Structure 1
Amino acid sequence: MIRGALRRLLGHPPSAAQMLDRAWRLGAAARGGPALSILPEGADWRAAPAEWIGFLAPQDRLAPHAAAAISAALAGRPDARLLFTDTAIARPGGPDPWLKPGFDPLMQEETGYAGRIAVFRRDLLDATGWRGSEAATVSAAARGLDAGALLHLPYPAVIGPERAWPASPALPAPRPMPRVSVIIPSRDRPVLIATVLRGLLEDTDTRGVPPEILVVDNGSTDPEVAALYARLRGRIRVLRHDAPFNFSAMVNHGLEAATGEALLLLNNDIEVTSPDWLAEMCACLARPGTGIVGPKLLFPDGTLQHAGVVTGLGAGHAGHPDAGSPGAALGPMGRLTHRRRLSAVTGAAMLISRACLEATGPFDAARFGIAYNDVDFCLRARALGFGVTWTPHAVLTHHESATRRRRTGAALRQFRAEKAALRALHATGTAEDPAFSPWYARRLRPELRALAALPPPRAFMPGDA
């Protein structure tokens, strides 16, 4: 009832100005919490009277009720040691909200986004010291903090000019490259399977370490496919999977046979379009704390198909919030141009470390034979502390429509059961994805929404940078 009244009052969806005004009005009701000292950037904090200390950069100013909202968010959180907020970017037509994800150590390393404003508990600041900028101080202070100590408050607490982020740096390929086992579930479709195999064997720079290619064949009858397998004998292995279609069971068949240090799940409708994609994914997987890596996927028309998966979208399940955007889209705050942590990535192209697989276990063929198996696997891995990374620097084309068929009958009933299982196991109907702002509606095409109350602070993403 309250949400409906807000829609009628503000319009649906609210504009950026309406969303900011709503947030600041909610901030006016904030009460309680510790005292704050907000100082000019770089000022000596040691004489500041408050337990919590923040720094304002030149040209930045506190938004309405910011101090009250921050203080109230810290009330009753004795383990908190660092909190950062959203930012409102000053523009000629009015401020524009920059709505941030929960703390992402990889994105912080590349962009320094977790500030404007950050507040530090005095003992943490005493231990860390000022590192020349708010971003560098946050990065240093965040190292070693546990989930309850590092919080993000989705409140636009600072108004100031836009500041360009540095370009996403190149990562050197691991030396030596790990041996990658590529698992390709497939059936018939000779043009598709020939394209993906050619891309792996001829168009991918593997840095002198050829991948182990395992095609898990689910009953192909096309003679062209049989001829292709015969031509490539010795370069690929074909594992016969003569059972009713179950994507997870096919993946598990390949994983059980794989011998590589890293395991790459690859749909048979993927096309390699640049040689360095696998080296980039391996470089990301080599980062400490990383268990899973996903690439940027484009549709054949060049629009974006996959830039990560957000849980809770699409009636409380999971979805690709940026799908359909131009392939070169920057995304909110330029996030689509930087590596970042996410809750999940698609199984159409997913690189998994051997350690992550052994800890997480196989894909769940009983509950997720058709859909959401990739989301379930990623969420189980995250719960164990493995980071899930998406990179814009590994780009592939996904001919998704070439293999997708409309679900009817038993397949539709199974799909509905798998949606229910995802909600039951991972609370995707109610839990807020830390990679996604609660100020966005939980739709497959996200838009701003008006909230009835300020969102609570939330913890950081798993995995170290």
Structure 2
Amino acid sequence: MTPPRVAILTVTTNAADHIPEYAAAVARLSYPQLEIWVADNNSADGTPGLLRELLPQAHIVGNARNLGFTGACNRILRELLAAEHPPDYVLFLNDDTEPEPDLVERLLALADERTLVAPKTYLAGRPGILDDAVGTFDWTRGRWRERTFGRPERPADAYPHAVEVANLSCLLVPLRCFQAVGLLDDAFFVYYDDTDFCRRAREAGFRILYQPTAVVYHRKGATIGGQTTPFGVYYLTRNRPYLLRKHVSRPRFALFLAYFLAARAVRTALWALRGRWDLCRATWWGLWDFARGAMGPGRMAR
């Protein structure tokens, strides 16, 4: 039986400071039927050249402008879907991750045409501490209900199990899933696109499994600076109500919105007391742009 073909999909934006570690880890992957696709969002720091040197077998697709995570992924996904010999699976893999050499084999052990598989993800440099790779989502408050971020491993983390939501920092997806539910929603640009995609996949009858023997290390925030930056605050504030409005009933969205606006008011007041007016402005702009339907790249795209 021919092993399934897997295409790694990575997005880069000015990643030269950490791309050597990613490239070295990807080069050590032991799975034979592997393609590497990288969409570069108009990096100005030499990232594409570094990748061509470190991963000469990779397909590097340069974007003339920053298409965000969603737009860059979708450009590659369209090429893969239209290929004469498309891969069987797409493996999302962030450029600030370092996978173990047997990652792909371990993920494929649980995968099939109706099953997405997420690995166990550790925070790089923090032995035994997990990243928020999988969990459950609270569709009333629009936030994780239970997630693994920042906590030590528990006995339950050693066993495969079904999950509701998985992070696209590393997720194996059968190509059939994109044919069934479509591509990533470009309205997000970045943040919450994975929650939306997982919800659509599960509603279409796909399942998501957690595979603890597949291991990735994640330098969280290395790609876009983290969530407590003006960039992160803007997109998180703008996209969260968009996600909820897209998936829940009007009464439930109204309940969420009341909670969300109150929580944002408290958060911005605390930031103001600390002199973080940049984060206050990012919050206000995020709310304003959601209200007027200004989705996609938005005012913080760089």
TM-score (norm 1): 0.49
CA distance in 2, matches of 1:319, 1:197: 34
Partner amino acid for 2:218? H
1:181 alignment partner in structure 2: 7
Change (3 A) 1:346 1:319: farther
Give 4+ residue runs of structure 1 displaced > 3 Å after superposition.
Answer: 411-414, 428-431
Question: Is the contact between residue 307 and residue 390 of structure 1 (CA under 8 Å) also seen in structure 2?
Answer: no
SS at match of 2:64: coil
The answer as to 2:73 corresponding to 1:246 is no
1:284 alignment partner in structure 2: 110
Question: Is the contact between residue 345 and residue 378 of structure 1 (CA under 8 Å) also seen in structure 2?
Answer: yes
Change (3 A) 1:233 1:276: closer
CA-CA distance at 1:233 after TM superposition: 6.7
Question: Is the contact between residue 8 and residue 92 of structure 2 (CA under 8 Å) also seen in structure 1?
Answer: yes
Find 1:266's aligned residue among 80, 93, 113: 93
CA distance in 1, matches of 2:57, 2:89: 18
CA distance in 1, matches of 2:244, 2:55: 43
CA distance in 2, matches of 1:190, 1:414: 24
Change (3 A) 1:227 1:282: same
Partner amino acid for 1:197? A
CA-CA distance at 1:385 after TM superposition: 0.5
| Runs of 5+ consecutive residues of structure 2 not aligned to the other structure | 81-85, 254-302
Change (3 A) 1:235 1:407: same
CA distance in 2, matches of 1:397, 1:346: 13
Superposed CA offset, 1:343-369 (max 9, x none) = 110000011101111101000002x21
CA distance in 2, matches of 1:247, 1:214: 14
1:362 alignment partner in structure 2: 183
Find 1:194's aligned residue among 12, 15, 20: 20
Aligned residues between the structures: 243
The answer as to 2:58 corresponding to 1:236 is yes
CA-CA distance at 1:312 after TM superposition: 0.8
Change (3 A) 1:242 1:320: farther
CA-CA distance at 1:397 after TM superposition: 0.2
Identity %, equivalent residues: 24
Question: Is the contact between residue 305 and residue 320 of structure 1 (CA under 8 Å) also seen in structure 2?
Answer: no
CA-CA distance at 1:226 after TM superposition: 4.2
Find 2:169's aligned residue among 319, 344, 348: 348
CA distance in 1, matches of 2:55, 2:149: 37
CA distance in 1, matches of 2:221, 2:140: 19
In our comparison, the structure showing a higher alpha carbon Rg is: 1
SS at match of 1:400: coil
Find 1:379's aligned residue among 192, 199, 206: 199
CA-CA distance at 1:413 after TM superposition: 3.9
2:245 alignment partner in structure 1: 424
Superposed CA offset, 1:410-434 (max 9, x none) = x644432210011112239969xxx
Question: Is the contact between residue 24 and residue 54 of structure 2 (CA under 8 Å) also seen in structure 1?
Answer: no
CA-CA distance at 1:339 after TM superposition: 0.9
Q: 1:11-410 alignment to 2 at 5 Å?
A: 176-201=2-27, 203-206=28-31, 208-209=32-33, 211-223=34-46, 225-232=47-54, 234-258=56-80, 259-272=86-99, 274-286=100-112, 289-290=114-115, 292-300=116-124, 301-302=126-127, 303-312=129-138, 315-318=141-144, 321-326=147-152, 328-330=153-155, 334=156, 336-366=157-187, 368-403=188-223, 404-405=225-226, 406-408=228-230
CA RMSD of aligned residues (A): 2.4
2:262 alignment partner in structure 1: none
Partner amino acid for 1:386? F
Partner amino acid for 1:248? T
Partner amino acid for 1:194? P
SS at match of 2:165: coil
Superposed CA offset, 1:65-89 (max 9, x none) = xxxxxxxxxxxxxxxxxxxxxxxxx
Superposed CA offset, 1:106-164 (max 9, x none) = xxxxxxxxxxxxxxxxxxxxxxxxxxxxxxxxxxxxxxxxxxxxxxxxxxxxxxxxxxx
1:137 alignment partner in structure 2: none
CA distance in 2, matches of 1:237, 1:215: 6
1:438 alignment partner in structure 2: none
CA distance in 2, matches of 1:270, 1:351: 14
Change (3 A) 1:298 1:372: same
Q: Which of the two has greater helix per residue?
A: 2
TM-score (norm 2): 0.73
Partner amino acid for 2:101? P
CA distance in 1, matches of 2:252, 2:136: 13
Partner amino acid for 1:247? F
CA distance in 2, matches of 1:178, 1:414: 36
Partner amino acid for 1:298? Y
